[in-house]
Amino acid sequence: MNKENAVKFFSGALMAGGCIGIAATVYLKVGGVLGAAMFAFGLIVVVAMKLPLFTGQAQHVWSRKGGEYSLLGLMLLLNLGGCFILSALTCTPEIAESSRAIINARLAKGPLMCGLLSIPCGFIMTAAVRGAGMKNNWLPLLFGVPAFIICGFPHCVADSFYYASCGRDFLMANGLTLLAAYLPTVVGNFLGCNLYRLAVGMPAWFTPVTDDAPVKGGRKERADAEETSAVVREK
């Protein structure tokens, strides 16, 4: 990865986390089905701007070399950083209380259930990203995001915003328990993102969704699409 692409990657991954942080803030302030539906705004921005989000890119590294898994791990850390920044900017006592309620519900389920419930969330995320990126079909995203929130399926990036908003005292008091619940969430999301590969025997090549999307327009549009694909492959 050259310097220019590294800057794009770091800034893009932080921005992706920030978008999820914005979506989580809206959800916690509005609540209910409407808040869950408005959460979709964050994912729409991520997909529309092709920002590197862990649950959007995890489908591309199945059975690949360790270097790409390392890059995916770095992406997750940067996503978490974006969420923590948004939490520092937007957290209020009301948001902190709502966040603790969500995280306490996660802890009550235990690590195993957190991991298992994270699998359908990852599956929904892959369906949403592939639908919007390849077929220009935004319905899986618009309906899928509220679905995984209402069902209580953990999303590892969104959960990091809730963790950050719980407050330092809560984190210090429950540190190991929170980690024991969070790590299975990451693993479950990753497996869910690749569930369709296992189910229908899809190849595990590193194929960005932009490679499969139909390119419309003239020479400039085709060049832009090719440049985007090259950047993703180089990462």
Q: Which tens digits make up the pLDDT trace of 199-226?
A: 766 654 444 444 343 434 444 444 444 4
Q: What's the pLDDT score for residue 143?
A: 94
Global pTM value: 0.81
Rounded Cα distance, 191 and 214, in Å: 28
Q: Count of CB atoms within 10 A of residue 49's CB?
A: 11
**Average pLDDT value for residue range 110-116:** 96
If DSSP codes are grouped into helix, strand and coil, which group holds residue 208? coil
pLDDT digits (tens, 9 = 90+) for 9-30: 999 999 999 999 999 999 999 9
Burial class (CB in 10 A: 0-12, 13-18, 19+), 10: middle
Q: Count of CB atoms within 10 A of residue 166's CB?
A: 25
pLDDT score of 113 more than 70: yes
Rounded Cα distance, 82 and 25, in Å: 13
pLDDT score of 172 more than 80: yes
pLDDT digits (tens, 9 = 90+) for 135-162: 788 998 999 999 999 999 999 999 999 9
Q: What's the pLDDT score for residue 69?
A: 85
pLDDT score of 125 more than 70: yes
Q: What's the pLDDT score for residue 154?
A: 97
DSSP state at residue 60? G
For residue 136, is it left (φ>0), alpha (ψ between -120 and 50) or beta? left
Return the biggest CA–CA distance within the chain.
Answer: 58
pLDDT digits (tens, 9 = 90+) for 175-201: 899 999 999 999 999 999 998 877 766
As assigned by CATH, the class of the 3-234 domain is: mainly alpha
| Mean of pLDDT over the chain | 85
**Average pLDDT value for residue range 20-47:** 94
